[in-house]
Amino acid sequence: MVHALGAVPVRVLIVEDNRDICENIAAYLEKHSYVVDFAYDGISAMHLALTHPFDVIVLDLMLPGMDGLSFCQRLRTDAEIATPVLMLTARDKLDDKLKGFAAGADDYLVKPFALQELHARLQALYKRSHGRPDNLLTVADLTMNKSTLQVHRAGRRIDLTPAGIRLLQRLMEQSPSVVARDTLETLLWADEPPDGDALRSHLYKLRQAIDRPFDSPLIHTVHRIGYRIAEASSEEDSQ
């Protein structure tokens, strides 16, 4: 299948409490081969954004649970997610738009709007994000494209879970620095980490995919502090 913006399907999260608007947007975008997910309140949207990779987010300003401005601020500052955000709102005053941009929105569309214009703006946001040269992360022979979320090591493609992708991206962005355990837990679960050592389980699965098939490990434990990703040294424990 040929998708709207190339061979890779574009994943869109629509965050809108008006279900009719949601369905209209989804029906139009799906005709252009977008993959669409929904959230009808800010809290559900945050959970989806933390646990699934999206190429662009369509965000209503007025939402139950967590409004669009708060969602966008948390997405950028707490979760440090750079996914482009197109904010939808019935408010058309300059001050409202400026607040949206200050919260981290990348574009702003006032209701009512034409679906063709929404589509054109989503295409522009995706292409702008996809084309940035800093979207390719590299550590040794490991690469991640932050736009397509494709991971390769030594030329071999590696498939990861959404949690694995998020962990790997953060570790690669911080490489060779250590990323604290609590930072990684917040990345995956915000302020509600599950009981037990779920992080260790996710790191184990990530190591199985990234390190086990290859001669040299890249993911290292720094005892009682956290984890780092870098070429191996004698001072590191990769167990």
Q: Is 77 helix (H, G, I), strand (E, B) or coil?
A: helix
Query: Which of 108, 130, 152 is the endpoint of a domain?
Result: 130
pLDDT score, position 197: 84
The reply to whether 5 falls in a domain is no
Same domain, 109 and 160: no
Q: Is the pLDDT of residue 196 over 80?
A: no
How many CB atoms are located within 10 Å of the residue 85 CB? 27
Cβ-contact 229, 139 below 8 angstroms = yes
Full-model pTM? 0.56
Same domain, 107 and 159: no
For 128: left if phi > 0, alpha if psi spans -120 to 50, otherwise beta; the answer is alpha
Q: Is the pLDDT of residue 126 over 90?
A: no
The reply to whether 237 falls in a domain is no
The reply to whether 236 falls in a domain is no
pLDDT band at 133 (very low <50, low <70, confident <90, very high): low
pLDDT band at 233 (very low <50, low <70, confident <90, very high): low
| Angle between the N-to-C axes of helices 42-51 and 162-174, in degrees from 0 to 180, rounded to the nearest 10 | 70
Q: Which domain holds residue 22?
A: 11-130
Same domain, 141 and 122: no
Same domain, 119 and 30: yes
Element (H, E) at 144: strand 142-145
The reply to whether 123 falls in a domain is yes
Residue 214's CATH number: 1.10.10.10
